[in-house]
Amino acid sequence: MKQFRTDLHIHSVLSPCGDLDMSPARIIQQAVRCGIDILGISDHNSTHHCRLMMELGHENGIRILPGVEVNTKEEIHCLAFFENIEMVENFQDFLDLKLPDLYNDPQLFGQQLVVDRDENIINEIEVMLASGIRASIYEVSAEVHKRNGIFIPAHIDRPYTSILSQLGFIPPDLDFDALEVSARSRVVNFLGLHPEFGRYTLITNSDAHVPEAIGRATSLFVMKDTSFSEIKLALKKEGNRNVLCP
Amino acid sequence: MKVADIVKKLNLKVHSCKNSLDKQVTGGYCSDLLSDVMGNANEGELWITLQVHKNIIAVASLKEISAILLVKGLKPPQEVIDLSEKENIPILGSDLPAFELAGKLYQLLGKI
């Protein structure tokens, strides 16, 4: 078994809240500097930087886990990751059907920019990405798993837009692969307050919106390699695999 | 005032527990964050919300809420109706938004 330093929650300039400095090129540069092995890209309700991130990751020796941070109907933020770009694009079709009929106001919420590898702006997304989509957390979980994806309710310790703030507790029949504890609380402290969460796989990530925040919280995945199937097994903690949050 | 009286006076729909509307309503609470309701709602209150996730039943049951009132014509899914029957928590509904329902309820309960 090997250990892989993992940060799965990163917002690029595509997210309205993502800093203008968060181009895929800059994100990769910073991740290399931080010694990150596996990096997840998780913009709000959009996957349009996944392909470029995968290309740049490949060139720079970083395993990119392509995904998205979905905001559900209940306004619960959930991370979703997929095995390949085909599945990502297939999930983007689902998002396109469920995105709200609202337009972004960049002045109020921030720009939603798609850039190329040289940081040239190539598109600006008009639909509002910050809003909840027209699908419940159950529907989103099912749509992710239908595509063999990984589904992780995000920053569950946060007093807003988290599964605990919105639903009060984890619905016992919800199908998820792990729960994310935000960089604000260390997992060990969270477990001290909420020991009942010890039965779940917990991960922690930076939720970076600026380059300097990348890697401020990381998990250690203990597994054989960085393949998608190994990552899934690590989240299940099968066969001596594990996810550690030191 | 009983739940049944409020249903009549505010012309509410009854989505579930049609035969158990005799609980007393002591006040109201208006929130869509279940964590907030768990922390702040009181026994006997009518809970005004737009949340239709089935966790509303568990939270209402825990806090001994007299009934849940869904705003803006929202309809509970069948499994939520089934659960509410089991827990004996009536789900009511109205086409009005929360602001207007809260105002009418406040007046009705003689809080003005």
Answer whether B55 sits within 8 Å of A171, measured CB to CB.
yes
Reported as type and span, the H/E element at residue A93 is helix A85-98
* Residue in A165, A169, A171 closest to B33 by CB: A165
Q: Give the whole-angstrom CA distance, residue B34 versus residue B110.
A: 27
Do B54 and A169 make contact, defined as CB atoms within 8 angstroms?
no
* Chain mean position to CA A68: 5
**Cβ contact A111:A125 at 8 Å:** no
Confidence (pTM): 0.92
Domains identified in chain B, total number = 1
Identity of the residue in B32, B36, B55 whose CB atom sits nearest the CB atom of A169: B55
- Tell me the β-bridge partners of B29: B47
Task: Residue B51: list chain A partners with CB under 8 A.
Answer: 74, 166
Q: Tell me, what CATH number does A158's domain have?
A: 3.20.20.140
> Taking a contact as any Cβ pair under 8 Å apart, which residues of chain B between 29 and 48 contact chain A?
32-38
Domain extent for B80: 3-108
Nearest residue to A40 (alpha-carbon basis) of A96, A83, A72: A83
Q: Residue with structure tokens 């929202």?
A: B74
Please list the pLDDT of chain A residue by residue as tens digits (246 residues): 999 999 999 999 999 999 999 999 999 999 999 999 999 999 999 999 999 999 999 999 999 999 999 999 999 999 999 999 999 999 999 999 999 989 999 988 899 999 999 999 999 999 999 999 999 999 999 999 999 999 999 999 998 999 999 999 999 999 999 999 999 999 999 999 999 999 999 999 999 999 999 999 999 999 999 999 999 999 999 999 999 998
In this prediction, the answer to ipTM > 0.85 reads: no
The tally of domains found in chain A comes to 1
Write out the residues of chain A at the interface with chain B, using a CB-CB cutoff of 8 A. 74, 136-137, 159-160, 164-169, 171
Give the nearest chain B residue to A164 (CA atoms). B35
Question: Contact A70/A133 with Cβ under 8 angstroms?
Answer: yes
Interface size, chain A vs chain B, as Cβ–Cβ contacts under 8 Å: 33
A59 lies in which domain range? 2-244
Q: By CA distance, what is B32's nearest residue in A?
A: A166
